[in-house]
Amino acid sequence: MRRLNLLYLLPALAILSCSKDSITPDTEEQLIETKELSANVEVAYPQDFGLLSDVYFAGKKITVEEIDGDYVYEGDILLPSNMITSQDVKLVYEIGEEPQEKSVGRTSGRWPNNTVYYSIDNNLSDKNRATDAIKHWESNTSLKFVQRTSQSNYIYFTTGSGCSSYVGMIGGKQNITLAPGCSTGNTIHEIGHAVGLWHEQSRVDRDKHIKINYSNIQSGREHNFKTYADSGSDGDEFTSNLDFGSIMLYSSYSFSSNGQPTIVKLDGSTFNAQRNALSAGDKTGINAMYGGSTGGTTEPTAPEYINGEYYVIYGLTVLRHNDEWWYYSRTYSMWREVELKSNNRWYYAR
Ligand SMILES: [Zn+2]
């Protein structure tokens, strides 16, 4: 699961919440939104379809939607513009090679010392969503959340068109957007992204557990259903099965064009996306990423990297394998071992 590990919202929510007794969708779009609402999944720009473009991010080629200057991936994931390039750029150097002075943005991804700094926009409505979600994270994981004073790297909870977040610590101020309809559960999900989780249905081995019904997906949104393997990060996944209880999983009806399920179990049955709490699997994954056990009072320990998992570290998507780092080089069309040097640049190991 939780590869490095890195959804959506509806203005309709606000309307629906204040007129529960008069929901009579009269257009196809409203029907879709109503379904999306029942699914409780997150969308950054529920009302907009962005321009689709193929870009490079962390050494992978992926399809993103460009909306309002944001690069949106899989519905609610924002990718930092300084880590996006239109052309493949060099992220791994040969031994002895001088790195380019200028490079695409780099991030170590995880929050040092298990400590996440944050600040809440004064104008954000229902701030309890953020503080309650933080309490949930603190009582279930070894992560600590501290109100920012002068730290330069921090999460900023602010209002937006939908629910959205970046994945992992990207460096500097990074927004989690919460439209009025985003729930505490949606906020727990968005914090999941911000501490480094991607979506559960994007696991490389997800086809062993779920089936994607492409014919039911909204036109132009098919790219949201790619696996990391589709994005060029092929490899083994050694961890446990896809977790149908994960708060990071889409629902069966996400991005449906016709009210029919887009994701089903292998036996054809549908499932709900829960947005109440971190699942046992979510907690296990996070504590493996960050060290420590559940319970918030544990002393933070150094993160352990899990063989078979993908991580984005200093701008590169790397696979942990045999306690070494491996990178799939498109230049060489093969996996090569890589090492992170003290200048925080990646080099081929041999
Ligand atoms: Zn999400």
Distance 190 CA to ligand 1 centre (A): 6
Distance 6 CA to ligand 1 centre (A): 8
pLDDT of residue 11 exceeding 60, the answer is: no
Q: What percent of the chain has pLDDT over 70?
A: 80
Closest among 230, 233, 228 to 203, alpha carbons compared: 228
Distance 269 CA to ligand 1 centre (A): 22
Higher pLDDT, 97 or 127: 127
Query: Residue 294: its pLDDT value, please?
Result: 45
User: At 76, which CATH number?
Assistant: 3.40.390.10
pLDDT (mean) for 325-344? 87
Query: Residue 239: its pLDDT value, please?
Result: 47
How many degrees, rounded to 5, is the angle at CA 160 between CA 119 and CA 276?
75
Query: Residue 331: its pLDDT value, please?
Result: 81
Give the pLDDT band (50/70/90) at residue 29.
very low
pLDDT (mean) for 158-164? 96
Give the pLDDT band (50/70/90) at residue 99.
confident
Query: Residue 303: its pLDDT value, please?
Result: 59
Greatest mean pLDDT range, 24-38, 102-116, 298-312: 102-116
What torsion, rounded to 10 degrees, do the Cα atoms 68, 70, 73, 75 define?
-40
pLDDT of residue 240 exceeding 70, the answer is: no
**In terms of residue numbers, what domain contains 117?**
1-350
Q: Are strands 346-348 and 334-340 parallel, antiparallel or unpaired?
A: antiparallel
Q: Where are the beta strands (DSSP E) in the chain?
A: 51-57, 60-67, 70-73, 77-79, 84-85, 92-93, 115-120, 144-147, 154-158, 163-166, 173-178, 210-212, 263-265, 310-313, 316-321, 324-329, 334-340, 346-348
Which residues line ion ligand 1, judged by CB < 5 Å?
7, 76
Task: State the burial class of residue 122 (Cβ atoms within 10 Å of its Cβ: 0-12, 13-18, 19+).
Answer: exposed
How many domains are contained in the chain?
A: 1
Query: Residue 58: its pLDDT value, please?
Result: 82
The Cα–Cα gap between 192 and 201 comes to 14
Distance 202 CA to ligand 1 centre (A): 11
pLDDT digits (tens, 9 = 90+) for 318-331: 888 999 999 988 78
Query: Residue 115: its pLDDT value, please?
Result: 96
Distance 70 CA to ligand 1 centre (A): 15
The residues that are catalytic are: 190
Query: Residue 152: its pLDDT value, please?
Result: 94
Query: Residue 100: its pLDDT value, please?
Result: 67
Distance 224 CA to ligand 1 centre (A): 11
